[in-house]
Structure 1
Amino acid sequence: MYSRVAKEEAKTYKPNHMGILQEQAVEVTSTLSKDKPLIQNLIILPCHSIFAPELNTKITNHNDEDTFAIGKDADNWIMESFQLESDDHLSFFKHLELSLVELHENIANSALVISGGYTKSSIEKSESSSYLELAEAVGLLKNPYFKVGTNILLEEYARDSYENVLYGICTFYKKFRRFPAKITIVGFGFKRERFLSSHLTTLGYYILPNVDNDELSMSSLPNTKHVKYVSAGPFLPAKPAGLTETEYEAYKDEFWGSLYKNERSKALDLFKSNPFGSNKSILHDKKLKRDPWNKREEVYSFYQTESDVLNSLVEIDKFDIKNAWNIYQKKVLPEFPLYE
């Protein structure tokens, strides 16, 4: 499986100089403010890092003809060591582009939520606001029907992928007073199973295929009427001059094998034990480490809505798995499906 996926995704990154995002307008019959009742679908862009060129102390002479140079410069991103190996900032940039393409192609009935909290101690800046800053810096928001605050919204509290989805739904609900009919996620291909088989299933948007759990794989998790997953990256660097083709193929197999192994042990298995990542779990401990600015104290009040089911899902984070399950079964499950 790894070699097949590697061949599909281990490509040199080539940004799309997308006229549809930089120059062209979309023909719609009325303004977005009047179309607000038509916004039914949610696009979620889960963030993975912070774009922070203000912290870059290196002097870099970017090619003036390369519109996207500032985003392709790894020194403008705050990244972990494992993200550097596969130039993950290029994937982050690609995810941003693709999420805006999704919005462009569904402009009359969709809203984009860029989701990511204040996860780095080196700067009090949210992941989501930094992605928006990048989009503005490289001209991806020139489409006159892209309206920040109307169909492009920021979610600034998420600390993991489950919260990307849950808080993304909360953000949509607060704005439009309804649950989205369809959710589109733009992210890494290897995380597709996590989002579909765990997060979107837990939140009632995805129904798992009728197969044995051991047979679940990305290929057995299709998009549905209510869920779409758009995959991009990681993008492995081109073959170094010093490696033979055989050595490079071995490197790719090892990279992808390790990637999927870690995804299984450090995410899928943990969410299987506690799908909410709630209190007294390894996942909850990770979330605390990703909250150096103690923003979690604001979450429960910020995401209080008219929806009892959303309020319950947000507050579940406070409880251990036994009590979390009791709340989920009594207050959440009976309300599914949330969409109309």
Structure 2
Amino acid sequence: MNDFGKLDLGSNDYPFANLSNLVMVAGHSVYTSSSCGKVDKEDSWVLEAYQKHPGQAATFVAHIQEGVEIVSKDDGALLLFSGGETRKHAGPRSEAQSYWAVAELKGWFSNEESVRWRALTEEHARDSFENLLFSVCRFRELTGKYPQNITVVSYDFKEERFANLHRTAISFPESRFFYSGTPASPSSNEAAMKGESLVRSQFQEDPYGCKGSLWRKKRGRDPFHRSIPYPNGCP
């Protein structure tokens, strides 16, 4: 993937061939409530033990809104909510579809009608590296080319992981990579920073998450044994 932005497979066969920039919102949980009034409540999401802090759900919603707002200011951008069917207790619902549904329930697509048709999902990622890599692959499936620019939306404390470790792992140019970070919930910030330091060191040793604890964590986030399709659409 060293020739980002150079490969164009023609415009006739791709529904979004006119878009050139990727905005990716990294998923963190699955939304299960049928009430749009509860999207900010923790009991509306399937949370891991380390995520069960007051205000955690509101941080997911902030990421969703941030992604919509960024794309609303860029007519050439494709918005991808990224995240697979990672929670067994949530059933076969993906993080990505959850985020798209929350944006719809909140009415943000109605406020930004031009964004709705440019907001899609990437539904196979099982960790942050795959959020980035698979979203690039999904972008190529939809546009016939690699993104000219990438903007990632996630927590501010994960910027080093995405902007340096993951970006370098896929050889994407630093000058065309942007990051929009939002704060963690105050009640979880200290634990989040400690956990992030550990995960970052693991990705430094294993940039693609293919062994050890990163691989075990990834496998644990695939309870329905989904096959990864991107080698076909994005060799």
- Specify the TM-score bucket, using the shorter chain as the normaliser: 0.7 to 0.9
- Other structure's SS at 1:48 match: coil
List per-residue Cα deviations over 1:262-306 (Å, max 9, x = no partner): 2111x111111110011x3221111110111111xx20xx21346
Q: Distance in 2 between matches of 1:288 and 1:109?
A: 35
Alignment pair present for 1:288 and 2:215:
no
Residue in structure 1 matched with residue 18 of structure 2 by the alignment: 38
- Other structure's SS at 1:100 match: helix
Alignment pair present for 1:146 and 2:115:
yes
Residue in structure 2 matched with residue 303 of structure 1 by the alignment: 230
Q: Which runs of 4+ in 1 moved over 3 A?
A: 35-38, 255-258
Report deviation, 1:40: 0.8
Maintained 8 Å contact 1:44/1:184: yes
Query: How many residue pairs are counted as aligned between the two chains?
Result: 220
- Structure 1 69/147 Cα, relative in aligned 2: closer, same or farther at 3 Å? closer
> Which of 170, 186, 205 is matched with 2:172 structurally?
205
Identity %: 27
- Other structure's SS at 2:193 match: helix
Tell me which structure has the larger Cα radius of gyration. Answer: 1
List per-residue Cα deviations over 1:116-154 (Å, max 9, x = no partner): 000111111101111111111121111321234xx2121
Structure 2, unaligned runs of 5 or more: 1-14
More strand by share: 2
- Other structure's SS at 1:53 match: coil
Report deviation, 1:178: 0.5
Report deviation, 1:256: 4.2
Q: What TM-score do the two structures reach when normalised by structure 2?
A: 0.87
Report deviation, 1:36: 4.2
- Structure 1 73/182 Cα, relative in aligned 2: closer, same or farther at 3 Å? same
Counterpart amino acid of 1:101? Answer: E
When structure 1 is superposed on structure 2, of 91-100 and 74-83 the one drifting more is 74-83
Counterpart amino acid of 2:53? Answer: E
List per-residue Cα deviations over 1:71-129 (Å, max 9, x = no partner): 112211111222122521111000000000001011x2100111000011111110111
Q: What TM-score do the two structures reach when normalised by structure 1?
A: 0.61
- Structure 1 44/147 Cα, relative in aligned 2: closer, same or farther at 3 Å? same
Report deviation, 1:38: 3.3
